[in-house]
Amino acid sequence: MHTVTKILVVLATLFAVALSALTIAFASNAQALRDAVGNERSLRQGAQNDAAAANAKAAAEESKWREVYSTATARALELEGLVNSLQAERKTLQDEKRAAQQDAERNKNEIAELRVATQTQATVIKSTTEELTALRKNVADAARRETELVDRLNELDGQRQVLAQNVRALQEQLAEAKLAVEAAAQGRTVGSTDRPIEASQFISTRVSRVMKDAAGNDVAVIAEGSRAGLKPNMRLTISRDGAFVANLILTSVDTGEAVGRVEKLGREVSVSVNDTVLSRVN
């Protein structure tokens, strides 16, 4: 046998042995692989089951957390609305605070102005009080002066009335003298019985009517008579507003009424209804 062939036979034998070993190893490895694959499949199924359970649990957790998230979101929105409301209320309170501060400042200024006005008024009142005191003193002085002047005027008026009485007496004397002259010219004398008499008491009345007698002379009727003490030929004084007008010589006297002729003593005067009629007491 050739050496090469021997070598080839040996190599073939070695190759066969190696192939047998490989076959045995492959068969052994194939069973191990089948066991491994079965185990792997079992593990994969268990893993899938675990994954499914985990997914279910995760889904439940997700649903739970979604609900929690939804609740939290709603609560967050509620809190956001509450925050916005509180912010709006805070802004309103801040505005009210500013307004209150402005009002307080304005009130403070008004109080200061009122204090100044009060002080001014106090000064004015004090000045006014002093002026009123001075005015009262002046009024009192003026009243005292007025009283003195009134007393003086009354005194002067009394003197004037005395002078007027004297003038009327002189006028009456002149009238009587004139009558005496006329009587003497006519050849007769004037007796004492023709002289008018004066009232012995104070009498005050008014003219109720004025008329003319047959000779055209003024005749006055007064609202008092004999019950007041009036008598025929009694002389009374007619005045108006305190001023002498004429004399009234009674010619006829009744109980409550009297008639007399008006003596103007040469003056251009007229007697009117409601003129004052007074007696002259010596």
| CATH number reported for the structural domain that contains residue 210 in this entry | 2.40.10.340
16 versus 234: the higher-pLDDT residue is: 234
Which pLDDT band, with edges at 50, 70 and 90, does 282 fall under?
very low
Q: What is the pLDDT of residue 12?
A: 80
Residue 163 lies in a domain: no
- For the cut 70, the answer to whether the pLDDT of residue 186 exceeds it is no
- The per-residue pLDDT for range 65-83, each reduced to its tens digit, is 888 888 888 888 888 888 8
Mean pLDDT calculated for residue range 187-195: 53
Is residue 101 domain-resident?
no
- pLDDT recorded at residue 191: 45
Query: Which tops the pLDDT comparison, 11 or 221?
Result: 221
Domain count for the chain: 1
Calpha distance 159→164 (Å, rounded): 8
Is position 12 within any domain? no
Please, are residues 237 and 202 in contact by the beta-carbon 8 Å criterion?
no
pLDDT-based confidence at residue 224 (cuts at 50, 70, 90):
very high
Is pLDDT of 140 > 80?
yes
225 conformational bin, left if phi > 0, alpha if psi -120 to 50, beta if neither: beta
Residue 226 falls inside a structural domain: yes
CA distance 79 to 91: 18
pLDDT greater than 70 at residue 158: no
Q: Is 222 contained in some domain? A: yes
CA distance 118 to 95: 33
Q: Which residues pair with 247 in a beta bridge?
A: 237, 263
- CA–CA–CA angle 169, 172, 177 (5° rounding): 125
Mean pLDDT in residue range 269-277:
92
**Per-residue model confidence (pLDDT) at position 179:** 64
pLDDT at 233: 92
Q: Give the pLDDT score at 225.
A: 92
Domain that residue 256 falls in? 196-279
Question: Does 270 reside within a domain?
Answer: yes
Q: Can you read off the two tokens belonging to residue 24? A: 């045995």
* Contact in structure between 238 and 253 (CB atoms under 8 Å): no
**243 found inside a domain:** yes
**Is 56 a member of any domain?**
no
Q: Residue 89: is it exposed, middle or buried by C-beta count within 10 angstroms (0-12/13-18/19+)?
A: exposed
